[in-house]
Amino acid sequence: MKSTARRRNSRSLDLSLLILAVATGVNGLTNVTHNIPEAVAIGSIVNLSCSYDLQNDPLYVVKWYKSGSEFYRYLPKEAPPIAVFGNFSDKINTVLSDAHRVVLKDVTPDLEGKYKCEVSGDLPHFHTAFTSGYMHVVGLPEGIPEILVEKQRYAIGETVKANCTVPPSNPPANVTWSINEISLNSTYHKTIAEKMDNRSRTYAGLDFEISQDSFRNGRLQITCHANVFQLYKMDVTTLIDEERPRLASVLGTRDSPHTGSGVANLTIAHWIVLLVSANSILQCTR
């Protein structure tokens, strides 16, 4: 009799809460959104957050999944409310984690993947909603890019051949170029895998023909832009000087070794002309 009475009272309570929810127009759980970073660096601390609006409904449970497998659960009715599963037992800071966020510590490459936050409200609606996002774990380049060019002086009509090398990373760095701050794509782009950490060194080349408008005050600015997501951004610039043709002097310059002899020969010739002229005049007067 007592068991039957309890069940009746429980159903009556559930029905009363449902009627109250309908009467007040409250819809329960809404606006489930996440903040899962697109990319994080190896070894960093990462916050996976999940926000939601229960609209006066109590929280029943929050579950987190990676690649379809549950690894974190927050159940407020349990003591303690946090449970961690699988290989995440030593990768989650349970002191800082709660119903809205999961804190990952010392991130490793195997934590890359798709994450899903699933939220369930309690009585009277029992609504469940989820949101998901993909997180990349990145091995950043150690160092800055390096630009190499064939020579430092170019004339109009010549082709500049430049190469930009970015230290190894995973994934490989993306490289673009700019000439005098005008963006250009690479002429060629290749990566060479390193033996450790699955990282690849990036090589990008640029072939650019010099025109009359290329130089500014006799100089050309070439910049290599390298990035890995938003975590690594480096710009390296080199300057190219204009090679201008030199006009040769008819008589040479002061530094010419032939200048002195040329002047001496010219002076002797003048004296010979004068002497011949004087001798002719004397002959005529006799």
List the helix and strand counts (H, then E) for the chain: 2, 18
CA atoms of 229 and 233, how far apart (whole Å): 8
pTM, entire model = 0.71
Residue 15 in tokens:
């029905």
- Burial class of 201 by CB neighbour count within 10 A (0 to 12, 13 to 18, 19+): middle
For position 202, what pLDDT does the model report? 96
User: Mind listing the pLDDT tens digit for each residue in 69-89?
Assistant: 999 999 999 999 999 999 999
Instruction: Find the helix or strand (DSSP H, E) in which 94 lies.
Output: none
For position 277, what pLDDT does the model report? 52
For position 27, what pLDDT does the model report? 65
- Domain 30-138, CATH class in plain words: mainly beta
Architecture category of domain 146-242 in CATH: Sandwich (2.60)
- Mapped onto helix, strand or coil, the DSSP state of residue 69 is strand
- Alpha carbon separation from 255 to 2, 228, 233, 251, 283 (Å, rounded): 121, 55, 50, 11, 45
CA atoms of 169 and 167, how far apart (whole Å): 7
Strand 153-154 to 232-242 pairing: parallel
DSSP 173: P
Counting as low any pLDDT under 70, the low residues of the chain are 1-27, 245-286
CA atoms of 51 and 257, how far apart (whole Å): 85
Residue ranges per structural domain of the chain: 30-138, 146-242
Conformational region of residue 275, where left means phi above 0, alpha means psi within -120 to 50, and beta covers everything else: alpha
